[in-house]
Every structure is written in C-alpha cells, then in structure tokens.
Amino acid sequence: MFARDILTDLLGKPWGEIIGLTIELIGLLTALSIVVLSLTWMERKLLGRIQGRMGPMRVGFHGILQPIADALKLVLKEDVVPGSADKGLFWFAPLAVFVPSFMIWITIPVSHDLVLANLDMGLFYIIAFAVLSITGLVMAGWSSASKYAVLGGLRSAAQLISYEIPIIMAVISIAMMSQSLNLQVIVEAQSNIPYALLQPLALAIFLIAGVAEVGRTPFDIYFAESEIVGGPFVEYSGAHWSVFFLAEYINTFAIAILVALLFFGGWSFPLMPEISALGFLWVGLKTYLVIAVIFWLRGTLPRLRVDQLMSLAWKVIIPLSFVNIMITATYLYYGWAWPILTLISLSITVTVSYMLYRKITRPALRTLEERLAYAKSYNQSRGQSEVSDAR
C-alpha cells in the first residue's frame, strides 16, 4: 500500500498503481524468500537440539549462512531433465506448484494495516488458490516419465484432496463465528477471546489437516519413502527442485500464519498495538511458535502409511469437522455463553483422541507377566519337549 500510494501521488493513476504494485509484489517475494531461508535454518537447528546435537555450525556463526549455501548449491547444480520426459510439462510443473502458494500471500495481513490487498472474501480466495497447487504436483509426477513418479504424484493428489476438506470445514466454522471472510475482521473479532479457546476442536482439525496439506511428517509418505524416494519430485534436481522446496516452506509458513491469525488472535490478542510494526512482530512471534510445533512433530513422530493416512482423513477428521460446524451453528443459533462452546468442543476432542488411542494401543498394553504366563501355558500345552528339542 505504501509504494502504491507514494507512486500514485508522484506519477498519477495508472502508472503509479502498476509500478507500485510491482514493487510491492517483488518486496513480498523477497520477504518470503528470506522467511523461507530462516525457516530452513530454524528447522535444522531445532531438529538438531531435539536430537542432542548442534545443527549447522561451520558456515557463518552457528550456521546462519547455511541456507544461503544450500540455495547456492541448488542453483549451481546441473538440471537434469529425463530424456523421455514431457519437456513442456516438466518445466511448467514447478511453476504450477509455486505460483498458487505465492498468490495466497497477497491477502494475508500481518498487521492492522500491512496487507497487500485486503479482499472481503480473503479466506475464500486463500482456500481456492491452495487447491490449485495439487494439479502442479500431478503434472510433476506425470511428466517425469517414471513409474514411481506417476504413482507418487497420484498418491499425493489423493492425500492433498482428502485433507482440503477438513481445512475448509474448520475455516467455515471460524467464519461463522466472526460473520465475515475478511481476515482483518476475523482477527479484530478475537480481541477479547482467541478462537483457540472457543473452538479447540477446530484448531486441532486445522492443524492436523494443515500439516497433511503441506506434506510434513507424519504425513510425508508421498515424497519421503514411497517406492524408493522422492515421489513426484524424484526426477527433479537443482534449481527446479528448489522451487518445489520453496513452495513447501511457503505453504508451511502460510498454514502457520493462518493458525496464528484465525485461532490465536493475530495482532489483536491480548492487546492491540497501535504501531503496525509491533503488530507485525506479535504475529511473527505466534507464527514462529506454531512453526516450532510443526517441526517438533516432525522430529518426534514416525510416518503414517498411505492407507492409514487416508482412513484417518475420511473416517476421523472429516466427520469431526462436520460435527464441529454443527456445534458452532447450534451455539450461534441459541446464543449461549462462550464457555459452553469451549466445553463441548474440548470434550469432543478429548473423547475422540482417547477412543483412537485405546483402539490402537489396547492390544499392545499387555504386561510382561501376562506374556510370560501366556508363554508358559503355551509351551506346556505343546509339551515340554518343544523347548529341549530345539538345540
């Protein structure tokens, strides 16, 4: 907004707008690249500390320059294009993945007056564009002319489409609470109570589905071990791959900042700073905390298998998201006090998690004594000779 206003004053309407917009877009791209660089550094340091080691230490003080070294290496690497690949699609697929991820950022506000274009349908726009990058992945898989890439691409498309639905549902319930799709209005409606307190179920659904959307552990089977490695990205190298890499981190940052804005109150909870820079810092802090949680999940949990991932989406997360919308609608219709919504939401989250936990772990929780007794009876029923014969 600043560049456009200044340039419009200087140059008049059409030119000032166009040049100002270009400058602001370039500025946004630069800011995002710097953020992505910082995210890669933070991830490696955080994972290192979780594992009891330091992260990068050699390149610059505590590895600060490591992301630049990584970027340089990726750009200088040879870009190998498979001989039988579909060249046009091969070149276009990274763009098809990257451009929608970047377009989301146009309407994400980072402070009460820092936003590139505040649309009234901001949330709808974000969701619509997030879905577009799925086609890019399928294009990447198909054009690589490799069996494993095609299978990986299709698998990733299935996963991403399944997890779009819970994101949309969670976001709908937020929009119902705040009566608007405009992100700035949503954030300002949380100045008393963040929506995380009101709807913990929606937060859980959005976080799980968001992590699955981005493709991070525990949901990263489609590119981290499927068939061999790589999934749809297996034939990309060098600068091409770096575009995918950039898109993944931009998506992660987008999910995190949406969590911060939609659920944790953005810049307006608990206090509304007057200076936009302070609000920007406040949002940044919350976003980086959410990102730290996402990295923490990556460092701890193993991966889900593809069918388990899909059954989790369709059997657990999507029904829960519908239940969440029903609860929110009921709450709004009857006009109850806000703790009731928290109570219902929290109780459903806890109940469903506990049911999942018991279903998965109950067969495994037999103690050693039970096992020993079982083994003794088993061996006795088959005769003692079973043990001594096996010499």
Partner 1 sequence: MTSEPQTGTPGTVDMMMNMGPQHPATHGVFRMVLSIDGERVIDMVPHIGYLHRGSEKLCEHEQYSQIITLFDRLDYIANFNNELVICKATEKLMGLEVPDRAQYIRVILCELNRLASHMLFYGTFGLDAGAMTPIMYGFRERERIQSLFESISGARMMHNFFRIGGIRYDLPEDFNQRITQLLNELQKGAEKADKLLTFNEVFLARTRDVGIISAEDAIAYGLSGPNLRATGVNYDVRKSDPYEVYDRIDFDIPLGDRGDCWDRHYVRMREMYESIKIIRQCLEQISEGPIMAPVRRIARPPAGEVFAHAENPRGDFGVYLVSTGGDKPYRLKMRPPSFCNLMALRHMLRDAYIADAVMILGSLDIVLGEVDR
Partner 2 sequence: MLGSLKGLMTTFIEFFQPVVTVQYPEEHLPIAPRWMGFPVLTWDKEISEPYCTGCMVCIRYCPTECMSATMKDNPLHTEGKSKRRKIVGDFEINYGRCIVCGICVDVCNFDAIEMSQEHELSVFARNDNRADLSRLLQLGYEYQENTGWSPTEKDQEGENVKT
**Separation of alpha carbons 205 and 213, rounded Å:** 12
**Separation of alpha carbons 149 and 163, rounded Å:** 21
User: 242 CB contacts (<8 Å, ≥6 apart)?
Assistant: 71, 74, 75
Query: Residue 324: which of 208, 205, 196 has the closest Cα?
Result: 205
Positions in 327-356 near partner 2 (CB under 8 A): 353-354, 356
The two tokens of residue 178 are: 């705040």
Q: Reduced to 3 states, what is the DSSP secondary structure of residue 77?
A: coil
Of the candidate residues 26, 285, 301, 375, the single one contacting partner 2 (CB under 8 A): 301
Q: Which is nearer to partner 1, 84 or 384 (CB)?
A: 384
Q: Which is nearer to partner 1, 106 or 221 (CB)?
A: 221
**Separation of alpha carbons 251 and 257, rounded Å:** 10
Look-up of token digits 């698998």: 155
**Separation of alpha carbons 153 and 151, rounded Å:** 5
Under the binding rule (CB under 8 A), the answer on residue 52 touching partner 1 is yes
Tell me the per-residue interface mask from 54 to 93 with partner 2, x by CB under 8 A, - otherwise.
x--x------------------------------------
Residue type, position 274, single letter:
E
Under the binding rule (CB under 8 A), the answer on residue 18 touching partner 2 is no
Tell me the per-residue interface mask from 213 to 252 with partner 1, x by CB under 8 A, - otherwise.
----xx-xx--xxxxxx-----------------------
Q: Reduced to 3 states, what is the DSSP secondary structure of residue 315?
A: helix
> H or E element: which one contains 308?
helix 306-311
The window from 79-87, 97-105, 241-249, 292-300 that contacts partner 2 (CB under 8 A) reads: 292-300
**Separation of alpha carbons 250 and 291, rounded Å:** 12
Look-up of token digits 């898989």: 141
Q: From partner 1, partner 2, none, which one binds at residue 275 (CB under 5 to 8 Å depending on kind)?
A: none
Of the candidate residues 9, 147, 334, 335, the single one contacting partner 1 (CB under 8 A): 147
Q: Which is nearer to partner 2, 32 or 196 (CB)?
A: 196
Least distance to partner 1, CB of residue 236, Å = 17
Least distance to partner 2, CB of residue 342, Å = 19
Contact predicate 338/192, CB 8 Å: no
Q: Which is nearer to partner 2, 185 or 316 (CB)?
A: 316
Asked if the bond preceding 100 is cis, omega within 30° of 0, the reply is: no
Q: Which is nearer to partner 2, 50 or 271 (CB)?
A: 50
Residues that bind partner 1 (CB under 8 A): 47, 50-53, 147, 217-218, 220-221, 224-229, 298-308, 356-357, 360-361, 363-366, 368, 371-372, 374-376, 378-379, 386-388, 390-391
Chain residues in the site for partner 2 (CB under 8 A): 46, 48-54, 57, 296-297, 299-301, 353-354, 356-357, 361
